[in-house]
Structure 1
Amino acid sequence: MRKSTVNPLEQNEGAIRKPTPRSPALVVVILFACGIALDRFFSSRFDFWRWELLVFLELLLLIGWLILQRFQSQLALILLCGVISICGSIWHHWFWELIPPNHIRNFAGEEATPVRLEAIVVSEPTWKENQLPEFASAWPGSDRTIFPIQSEQLHLHDRTISVSGRIRLTVSGPLNGVQTGDRILVIGKMRNLQPNRNPGTYDFAEALRRDSVLTTLFCEHAEGVQVLKKADIHIVSWFHRCLDTVRIRIREVFQQTLPSESAAMANALILGDRTQLDDEVNTAFRRSGLMHLLSISGLHVALIGALAGWLACLLGGTSRSFNQFTLAGMTLAWILAEFRPPVFRAWLLGLMLFWSWTSFRKIRTVQALGLAGWICLIVNPSWLFDVGTQLSFLAIVAILGCWKWMPSLFRNQIETKLLTSESTSDSPSSIQRGFRHAIHFLKQTAIISLAITLFLLPILTAHFHLVSLAGIPATVLALPLLAIALPGLILTATIGFFSPAIASLIATPTHYILMLMSGLAELFSRGPLQWLPAGINFWIVACFCLLAGLLVFLPKQTGIPLKAGISTSWCLLLVIGLSPFPSSIFHQSLECRVLSVGHGNACLMRCPNGRIILFDAGSMENGRFASSAITASLSDLGCNRIDAIVISHTDTDHLNAIPFLMDEIPIHTIFLNPVGLNPRHPGLAAIVEKAGEHHINLRYLQPEDEIRLDKKVRISTRQCGSSPLSHLTSDNEHSIVMEVEYADRHLLFPADVSGDGQERLFEETSPGYDFLVAPHHGSIKDNTLDFSKWAGAENIVFSTGDENGQGYLTELYSPQQVLWTTAGAVRCRIDAQGHCTVEQWHRNQYWGIPLEN
């Protein structure tokens, strides 16, 4: 018998403990991000949070860390974490809050003022078509040219001042002959960007501020822009000029070789420019959960890089050339997308991974992700609050967690099939192998799409007020189409530089693929897999974040029962927090919100039992904006449907948001005023058409009718006509006047009632109103001393975009509280005991005590 020998080195190999891999970059970026978030919260609410305090805290913590690192290592580590966090606060405060004295923002106000300004063009002008339907605005819309400029000199009537800071310039109509780097003179109206005036809506001012734009300038005609000097030729201006030329040429190629809808999709996929997309296409991709395919991001960068690497393989290149071609493709995608944050993140991550492969120095993916995140926050700390950046990074985290927790799903099944095929005499044919790989790819895509969708749902809900599970099957079907469409578009753009006729041969099949993607988006946008979320509780979000962290950071060796328990708890929290069932039934109070929609009315009221009624919904400026404000507030109230809408009369600023709402939110009944119905009114015609499409009830209100939504709340018509009138020039006089009574409190919504309509109101005794939306948006003509005495209101809200006449109206209703929606939305809350509180949405984005107007 042969005696085996054992090498002592091999015997002790298993006893050697491998060092635990660390990811310090991930910890640093988390601490740095916490400091940024801390500064954003405190600087907007407390005056003591200043630059000097942050520097003092940083020095104090740094000195403490230097002293304690030799004696108390654990305490020194805590101080080091504080140093990193405060460093993030200092960097964000310097970027976000500190504005130099000569900044253009200091010479502009909330109201538009005429100016003459010299500036440098920062990037190429973008053409934006007006896509609002006729009923959406009381004023005719126009196409616009938009681009950023760097302010240089402000010409006042008596002197010229050197200024700094970026401005967003909007010119009505086309503007030709202006290029990047040109020095221009602009004559227009300038104003500072205003903060969000409604909770939950898209904050346009904050989005532009992330690009260091605090002011806007509007020019009514192209003649108001004069080129003083063409751009000087140097390396930077030459690069920007070449980039603009390439982007313009790519647009021209797409316009020449593709139909308009496909050309707009091509611009979005290759250049990241979605300005030409039709609103219906945008809505379909958003509701179907496919917007991430249409918005250029890390996915597109990875696909373009993979295509470049595949080209290197076809040319017979080595692994080094494969890496170089892939990185070059990713860099090209980043440059063409104008250095957008999600693309920048993907490029950084790819750069680090390729560096580790080419230098043979192993770097963990989590470490590379942390480094990429930290560099992004150094470049622009406000990117932390950008939804695109958030979704981009969290999607990568979800993919890493998916691969980490389910490795067998991505490896063992394929290995088993290969072993089975090798053990049999009949090896699979190339068709069978291709079919198996296709099935495997679709399965991976489905699982990864599910993981990403579930992981990103809270952020998608908070920003877009939509839960769309349709994105999971839609992505599985659309992703292969995107993988085919991208190389087709790249080839079309490349060949089209030299011969658009030859490029059209490739563009034609690519067009059908894009149309198939659009058809999938349209198909999945209509169905039961998307709904308006009914809000989400803070504690549910906190528990979700904890479980998500466990999913990502627990080791691979975690047992299957614990994995299943965490995953199940995660899904249960999502179901509870984002269910289609309203959470407002747990709020036993009545809440009414008068939203800030410019010159218009949008009064949203939630009954104690959670049911919703909307008194008018329109805006003189933009009905789509009013619709988004209503949708955001509806979700914020914990509701996801509207039980009743009352249209007081057929004026544009009282109804033009309703057609948009009908496409987004389940609505049960719309109550109409029988007086003054005009079937030729564009807004009313759109309402009637969409009511038929969505099976929404249309009913006439009659005098003394009651709308029964809650047995504790009395909603009645204080005044209403009974039949149409002939030769009616204005139906303001016959506006429906609605009254609400709850817990011995009274609210009045008189719409635009005026003249004889008010006289009819005076014939009955007023109970004295606790909350009143002033008639006709605060018109001096319709807010008289007689009406003020009759109403006897304690709180009066003026739903107007015009602050003229504030002095008269304040004196008229004195000493009662007078509020204007120009300062922010107003809400009135009444509990079961009849306690009434009135708050206003502050410019720092929270509800609080109304400020002095």
Structure 2
Amino acid sequence: MNPLEQNEGAIRKPTPRSPALVVVILFACGIALDRFFSSRFDFWRWELLVFLELLLLIGWLILQRFQSQLALILLCGVISICGSIWHHWFWELIPPNHIRNFAGEEATPVRLEAIVVSEPTWKENQLPEFASAWPGSDRTIFPIQSEQLHLHDRTISVSGRIRLTVSGPLNGVQTGDRILVIGKMRNLQPNRNPGTYDFAEALRRDSVLTTLFCEHAEGVQVLKKADIHIVSWFHRCLDTVRIRIREVFQQTLPSESAAMANALILGDRTQLDDEVNTAFRRSGLMHLLSISGLHVALIGALAGWLACLLGGTSRSFNQFTLAGMTLAWILAEFRPPVFRAWLLGLMLFWSWTSFRKIRTVQALGLAGWICLIVNPSWLFDVGTQLSFLAIVAILGCWKWMPSLFRNQIETKLLTSESTSDSPSSIQRGFRHAIHFLKQTAIISLAITLFLLPILTAHFHLVSLAGIPATVLALPLLAIALPGLILTATIGFFSPAIASLIATPTHYILMLMSGLAELFSRGPLQWLPAGINFWIVACFCLLAGLLVFLPKQTGIPLKAGISTSWCLLLVIGLSPFPSSIFHQSLECRVLSVGHGNACLMRCPNGRIILFDAGSMENGRFASSAITASLSDLGCNRIDAIVISHTDTDHLNAIPFLMDEIPIHTIFLNPVGLNPRHPGLAAIVEKAGEHHINLRYLQPEDEIRLDKKVRISTRQCGSSPLSHLTSDNEHSIVMEVEYADRHLLFPADVSGDGQERLFEETSPGYDFLVAPHHGSIKDNTLDFSKWAGAENIVFSTGDENGQGYLTELYSPQQVLWTTAGAVRCRIDAQGHCTVEQWHRNQYWGIPLEN
């Protein structure tokens, strides 16, 4: 070997490894495996997992001396099954005395003793008047730890957390207090529509399986104040500090700015106006409003900058930065997103202060593994997914575009300082600002592209406006955070002095809100189609290559992978694949409580919506429609038919107008009431969004697809005066495709049904029962006339099920209380009816 080769061998460094990253991936695969199998197969039990773990562990111990490669495969299996066991124990196993076992699907009165887990949160009712048939109320919400359940004949010791909701304000209750609650308890119900926010799963990740509702504050009685010990004292102090910070913000800032301040510093978004939330979400700036790793990093950087001003060393800089991150974590009540960022920062700063080099990828793997050990269900939490993917995107930028992170500007400045053309301080500041904005823009683009599949799946919104919006808003956030921290700190002693700092901070917050409002309106937001599983798999493969390929990868290969990655995004998010290749008609009757929302996609991909409302909450009905629209692979509604002017048939439409493009809304000319709040909101927003409003007339047809006949089976022709109810004049819509017939009679009743009986029925394959399954309007005469094969009752009331089942027997009868129902008809006329399962998949089809 020549001297040159010897020197090269001497300086050759071993390839760095990241075992923690491999372990966390295997552990996460085991968790996902358990979630999939336990929800679908009864044989997947705790005993089976333990047996598999022992079998793999014994095999690994035997083979590690003889077959190292096979032993390594078995070791990977051991780690994966460990993840499955840990998740199964956390998610599926419920002790016999758990409070969930004493509650049911229906609300039942109980008397319960419990311990207050955290301070009560005040939630204002922000639903517009038209959004619900019942008046809303402000609420107080907080978690409690159940202790004793008082039955009529005995008292039972119970365990488990409960989410307690009290109507109105609740005073005098603090963390650690023992309380007696008299209210109505029920178990959390699984999601009844595909794609909507799963409230039950979100609470279950916090070990909350049951809710308790109390109609009056008098139903909560403090039995014993919290015992004074180190833990309770800490929680009391933390609650006191958080309450005082809220008071300072309320005293020194206007209400809208105070709500944003609470969100940015305390992680409390309950006081935010719904319009502000919508603007930040649609503009792609919600990550700035929701306290997360970004805020922790900024607050830590501010603390480190303070250490530099005080003349500290690099060690003190690290210590101050970590202290600032810890403060942010504590003030945010140890919320999971903040904990994840704090944990990753702790590992990195520990490596720097101990002079022990740790790879960022290795630190990310360790942080992810610890998070999954703390709570394995965080793997399915959108916040966790977004947090770690954002870090992966930043690592990818750092590896593939290292020049972006090189301090080239400072190098040029130092070089120029030795010459006569030394730039001024203003020029240096301007160049630093330009470099910062360039970094922010490129990193924002990378993060947005990386997160698009997750954002699409969970929020059904693509907002490229978030890239320029983040570039402009991030400097404002960096200025607002220290202003809010100083306001809160000085406000403890003198709110008057704190107001001097709060005033300019208020204008900065309002500027952020204005940017969100500006970027929330425009062509850069759209409703995406649901992404195919195989496209997601290919996307993940390419994303892994982007991050884990070495820096020395050639430019052509980088360009090829990046181009393929972007093409997959375009194909996956485009509505065209779904609308072109699904040559079938699909109708979905969504579960929206007592109300109607029937969404139908024609074979050519065009969409019509028959009614859209809910007696309980029009905003919830709107979210269910939007989610199903994305799941169907469509991003607009071509026509909406409002059968009549009732709240439970139209109060979701104003919310839909703000979310997705709508072409035409068809109204019933009978019984139009301009004073109806919901109808007034529809007319107003139709003008704002340039949506066509038309009256339907008898025998009109809505031409969306030449193969589908959508006609008015019955409809009034002109307004009628002195109507107490327009139910009998409801528009009755009929759909015909491939010799199959569907009927949507809305709330038609009385004389309206008599007029239907005068015409011959073709015999319907799919029928949405009139008036949500009302016993009065579902008569034997109507049943015989309709001759329906499948009948769906769109109601939240299950009373009368026995009568209705017997009335329509032997036809297939389904209730949306069990989940959304869909009917699919292919070009050959084959009809399939399915129902959304409580384990979040469509049930076994019922073929006709």
TM-score scaled by length of structure 2: 0.99
- 2:6 equivalent in structure 1: 11
User: How far apart are residue 322 of structure 1 and its match?
Assistant: 1.1
**2: CA distance, partners of 1:398 / 1:353:** 18
CA contact (8 A) 1:183 1:230 kept: yes
CA contact (8 A) 2:612 2:649 kept: yes
CA contact (8 A) 1:691 1:698 kept: yes
**1: CA distance, partners of 2:62 / 2:20:** 24
Q: List per-residue Cα deviations over 1:526-549 (Å, max 9, x = no partner).
A: 000010002211111111101000
CA contact (8 A) 2:103 2:186 kept: yes
CA contact (8 A) 1:582 1:610 kept: no
- 2:572 equivalent in structure 1: 577
Q: List per-residue Cα deviations over 1:204-253 (Å, max 9, x = no partner).
A: 00000000000000000000000000000011111111111111000000
CA distance change for structure 1 residues 479 and 495 in 2, over 3 Å: closer, same or farther?
same
Query: Does structure 1 residue 423 correspond to structure 2 residue 418?
Result: yes
- 1:562 equivalent in structure 2: 557
User: How far apart are residue 726 of structure 1 and its match?
Assistant: 0.7
2:524 to 525, 529, 537: 529
Q: List per-residue Cα deviations over 1:404-428 (Å, max 9, x = no partner).
A: 1000233275367347635753111
User: How far apart are residue 341 of structure 1 and its match?
Assistant: 1.4
**2: CA distance, partners of 1:465 / 1:795:** 30
RMSD: 1.6
CA contact (8 A) 2:608 2:640 kept: yes
Q: Secondary structure at the match of 1:370?
A: helix
- 2:829 equivalent in structure 1: 834
Q: Secondary structure at the match of 2:595?
A: coil
- 2:757 equivalent in structure 1: 762
CA contact (8 A) 1:735 1:751 kept: yes
1:315 to 310, 319, 331: 310
1:411 to 383, 406, 411: 406
**1: CA distance, partners of 2:551 / 2:266:** 39
**2: CA distance, partners of 1:411 / 1:321:** 25
CA distance change for structure 1 residues 780 and 272 in 2, over 3 Å: closer, same or farther?
same
Q: List per-residue Cα deviations over 1:773-793 (Å, max 9, x = no partner).
A: 000000000000000000000
Q: Secondary structure at the match of 2:847?
A: coil
CA contact (8 A) 1:532 1:580 kept: no
**1: CA distance, partners of 2:670 / 2:513:** 43
- Which sits farther off after the overlay, 474-483 or 340-349? 340-349
User: How far apart are residue 463 of structure 1 and its match?
Assistant: 0.3
**2: CA distance, partners of 1:238 / 1:16:** 57
CA distance change for structure 1 residues 10 and 304 in 2, over 3 Å: closer, same or farther?
farther
User: How far apart are residue 316 of structure 1 and its match?
Assistant: 1.4
**1: CA distance, partners of 2:650 / 2:575:** 26
CA contact (8 A) 2:833 2:847 kept: no
- Count, aligned residues: 848
**2: CA distance, partners of 1:305 / 1:272:** 16
Q: List per-residue Cα deviations over 1:431-469 (Å, max 9, x = no partner).
A: 111111000000000000000000000000000000000
User: How far apart are residue 583 of structure 1 and its match?
Assistant: 2.9
- 2:199 equivalent in structure 1: 204
Q: Secondary structure at the match of 2:156?
A: strand
**2: CA distance, partners of 1:425 / 1:313:** 30
Q: List per-residue Cα deviations over 1:295-338 (Å, max 9, x = no partner).
A: 10111000000111111111111221111111110000001111
CA contact (8 A) 1:442 1:476 kept: yes
Alignment identity in percent?
100
Q: List per-residue Cα deviations over 1:492-534 (Å, max 9, x = no partner).
A: 0000011111101000000000000000000000000010002
Q: List per-residue Cα deviations over 1:332-376 (Å, max 9, x = no partner).
A: 000111111111111111111111111111000000000000000
CA contact (8 A) 2:832 2:846 kept: no
**1: CA distance, partners of 2:577 / 2:282:** 20
Structure 2: stretches of 5+ with no match in the other structure: none
2:275 to 268, 272, 280: 280
Q: List per-residue Cα deviations over 1:645-669 (Å, max 9, x = no partner).
A: 0000000000000000000010000
**2: CA distance, partners of 1:256 / 1:425:** 53
Query: Does structure 1 residue 180 correspond to structure 2 residue 175?
Result: yes
Q: Secondary structure at the match of 1:76?
A: helix
CA distance change for structure 1 residues 509 and 7 in 2, over 3 Å: closer, same or farther?
farther
CA contact (8 A) 1:301 1:334 kept: yes
2:57 to 43, 62, 83: 62
- 2:612 equivalent in structure 1: 617
Q: Secondary structure at the match of 2:406?
A: helix
- Which sits farther off after the overlay, 772-781 or 538-547? 538-547
Q: How does 1:351-500 map to 2 (within 5 A)?
A: 351-411=346-406, 413-414=408-409, 417-418=412-413, 421=416, 424-500=419-495
Q: Secondary structure at the match of 2:350?
A: helix
**1: CA distance, partners of 2:67 / 2:3:** 40
Structure 1: stretches of 5+ with no match in the other structure: 1-5
1:153 to 148, 163, 180: 148
CA contact (8 A) 1:171 1:221 kept: yes
Q: Secondary structure at the match of 1:717?
A: strand
CA contact (8 A) 1:581 1:640 kept: no
2:113 to 94, 98, 118: 118
- 1:3 equivalent in structure 2: none
**1: CA distance, partners of 2:698 / 2:847:** 38
CA contact (8 A) 1:612 1:643 kept: yes
Q: List per-residue Cα deviations over 1:578-622 (Å, max 9, x = no partner).
A: 136573222100000000000000000000000000000000000
- Runs of at least 4 residues of structure 1 off by over 4 A? 6-11, 13-16, 850-853
**2: CA distance, partners of 1:365 / 1:697:** 55
2:224 to 229, 238, 244: 229
Q: Secondary structure at the match of 2:577?
A: coil
**1: CA distance, partners of 2:580 / 2:704:** 13
Q: Secondary structure at the match of 1:111?
A: coil
CA contact (8 A) 1:611 1:710 kept: yes
CA contact (8 A) 2:832 2:847 kept: no
CA contact (8 A) 2:741 2:762 kept: yes
CA distance change for structure 1 residues 572 and 413 in 2, over 3 Å: closer, same or farther?
farther
Q: Secondary structure at the match of 2:675?
A: coil
- 1:50 equivalent in structure 2: 45
CA distance change for structure 1 residues 412 and 142 in 2, over 3 Å: closer, same or farther?
closer
Q: List per-residue Cα deviations over 1:782-828 (Å, max 9, x = no partner).
A: 00000000000000000000000000000000000000000000000
- 1:851 equivalent in structure 2: 846
**2: CA distance, partners of 1:288 / 1:371:** 33
- 1:807 equivalent in structure 2: 802
User: How far apart are residue 851 of structure 1 and its match?
Assistant: 9.9
- Which sits farther off after the overlay, 630-639 or 310-319? 310-319
Q: Secondary structure at the match of 2:810?
A: coil
Q: Secondary structure at the match of 1:116?
A: strand
CA contact (8 A) 2:613 2:621 kept: yes
User: How far apart are residue 10 of structure 1 and its match?
Assistant: 10
CA contact (8 A) 1:534 1:578 kept: yes
CA distance change for structure 1 residues 696 and 431 in 2, over 3 Å: closer, same or farther?
same
**2: CA distance, partners of 1:582 / 1:658:** 27
**2: CA distance, partners of 1:43 / 1:150:** 27
**1: CA distance, partners of 2:609 / 2:761:** 23
Q: List per-residue Cα deviations over 1:668-701 (Å, max 9, x = no partner).
A: 0000000000000000000000000000000000
CA distance change for structure 1 residues 386 and 455 in 2, over 3 Å: closer, same or farther?
same
CA contact (8 A) 1:582 1:639 kept: no
CA contact (8 A) 2:831 2:847 kept: no
User: How far apart are residue 282 of structure 1 and its match?
Assistant: 0.2
- 1:551 equivalent in structure 2: 546
**2: CA distance, partners of 1:616 / 1:555:** 55
CA contact (8 A) 1:738 1:748 kept: yes
User: How far apart are residue 258 of structure 1 and its match?
Assistant: 0.3
CA contact (8 A) 1:531 1:580 kept: no
User: How far apart are residue 391 of structure 1 and its match?
Assistant: 0.4
**1: CA distance, partners of 2:2 / 2:663:** 80
CA contact (8 A) 1:534 1:636 kept: yes
Q: Secondary structure at the match of 1:848?
A: coil
User: How far apart are residue 849 of structure 1 and its match?
Assistant: 2.6
CA contact (8 A) 2:832 2:845 kept: no
